[in-house]
Structure 1
Amino acid sequence: MITKSNHLSASLSEALVQQNLEGAYARAHAVRIDVSQNEREAPEHRHRKGQLVMALRGGVTCRVPNGMWMVPPHCGVWVPGGMLHSNVATANARLFFLFIEPDVTDLPSRCCTLSLSPLVRELIIELADQSTVAKANADTIETLLLSALPLMPIEDLHLPLTNEHRLDRIASALIEDPSDRGTLSDWAKRVAMSQNSLARLVQQETGLTFGHWRKQLQLIIAIRSLAAGATVQQVSGDLGYASVSAFITMFKKALGVSPAKYLNRLDN
């Protein structure tokens, strides 16, 4: 069930009602949502159909029980049917929700971020405009989408999360204040553990070292902020980097390109 708590969640609820009414018998059905004014959140919910959230402009983060996923412009996050999730969009976001019947295409059984080709993006946009899409054309678009989506590459824009209470406390604190530059030793003291014990716990629960885990969180926040229109200088400061060059170095090591080139690539 979807509860209406603000602009995006209300719009999402309306979109889901539209999907149920207009797309109940469709293999794939798309709706469009423009987010305005302030940043908006759709609270935790689930639905029978799988869902691909595509950001044409701005950015979205999607949280599921075991992780947080980033949807930068022109990418999409895939949420399998029945999975509990919530969405948070930037204020400038233009979103498309593609709902897909279970078992009609070979998409992953886990949540993931997909890098969408220009063709796939245009097909989703066209399918969302139901008023101008004839039934025969809609069937053709559905077939093309369901064939192309499994071929889209997966982006590593994912932060593993856990129900372990100490790591949940650390993750919540870093999400609240990503500029916190506390060391592993500092965090170990805050959660009443030894440094070695905390290092083992992070590795065991997330599969990452503490440094990699925190850097992945910073990367997600950085892409989200840049997609919302923040400058590289602003993002660097918000993440607590001593210099812009240090932030750019981190970004390039993680994604292979500078922040500016990464966003330019998404626009093409």
Structure 2
Amino acid sequence: MSTKRQPSFGLPADAGAIVVGSFEMSSGRRFDWHEHPVHQLVWCARGVLAVSVGAAVWVLPPPRALWIPAGVVHAVEASRPATMRSVYVRRRGCRIRWTAPTVVAASPLVCELIGFLADPSAAARSRGHAERLLLDLLRPLEANPIELTLPRDPRSRRVADVLLSDPADPRTLAAFARTAGACARTLARLFLAETGSTFGQWRTHLRLRAALTHMAAGVPVAVVAERVGYRSASAFIASFRRLLGVAPGAYFATAAHGGHVAGDSAG
């Protein structure tokens, strides 16, 4: 994995309210933990991005973008080649008041405006209109992140690392105990104490996070279910719905059609 720290970006004094940065990200490239003194809208024009804030992870295909308020520490990773567009928004005068990361629908018009604002030759008056329109168009989606805190103890972390590399590994906690250097009861206690979840809950979150990445790349649900360790597509769909509130087929379709408006974009 290629890890690089994205610069802490501040808008030049002579820049407008918005500056757009473009980043070509190879498979496995990661911008490690960092923050910006300005607001940021992360949009994946091509491929799939995963944005982490603490233990929360948002998976972003092109129909979705993530608003990250200024000062929020985050990391961005591409599991496959992707084009990332970062829209940096000056805090002064910004009408959006969201205080936590917020998923928004990247509608075709929003995407066109981001592309227009990425062109430094755009006339100042036109840029001003486009900046205001872009911010007015941002509409939040009902989208819960997947929480995945990694355990710290070497024994439980050994189990976690195996599952991170292969979410479909079918072994029970008792089976993992034989190679982890701890009994099943100790491993269960460690997972609960260090992640806030039982081992079963933690593995479900891990599998669904992996599933979102596959789904965002267009992999059929039945294939995704098998890849992340479910015995049937129906079992996967039921688990997905319990955690994320919708069926897998509706998760990205909602974003593609503009999504459910959860509040006023001006906050």
1:116–1:152 CA contact under 8 A, matched in 2: yes
Runs (4+) of structure 1 moved beyond 6 Å? 19-24
Alignment correspondent of 1:108? 99
Please give the per-residue CA displacement for 1:137-168, whole angstroms capped at 9, x wherever unaligned. Answer: 3233334445665x624522323324623454
8 Å contact 1:33–1:94 — kept in the other structure? Answer: yes
Change (3 A) 1:261 1:138: same
Equivalent runs, 1:80-229 vs 2, <5 Å:
80-81=70-71, 83=73, 85-91=75-81, 93-102=82-91, 104=94, 105-108=96-99, 112=101, 114-116=103-105, 118=107, 120-132=110-122, 134-146=123-135, 149=138, 152-153=140-141, 155-162=143-150, 164-166=152-154, 167-229=156-218
The aligned length equals 250
Query: Could you list the per-position Cα deviations for residues 49-102 of structure 1 after superposition, in whole angstroms to 9, with x for gaps in the alignment?
Result: 4433212443111345544432233222344447252422433x4432112345
Structure 1 vs Structure 2: percent identity of aligned residues?
29
Distance in 2 (alpha carbons) for counterparts of 1:81 and 1:131: 29
Shift of residue 217, structure 1, vs aligned partner: 1.7
User: Aligned AA for 1:238?
Assistant: R
Whose helix proportion is higher, 1 or 2?
Answer: 1
Report the equivalent of 2:260: none
Give the counterpart of 1:244 among 223, 228, 233.
Answer: 233
The answer to whether residue 18 in structure 2 is matched with residue 28 in structure 1 is yes
The CA deviation at 1:128 is: 2.7
How high is the TM-score relative to the length of structure 1?
0.72
SS at match of 2:29: strand
Q: 1:40 to 1:199 in 2, by over 3 A?
A: closer
Structure 2 unmatched runs, 5+:
258-267
Q: Aligned-pair distance for 1:222?
A: 1.0
Q: Is the 8 A contact 1:57 1:227 kept in 2?
A: no
Amino acid at match of 1:230: V
Q: Alignment partner of 2:224: what SS?
A: helix
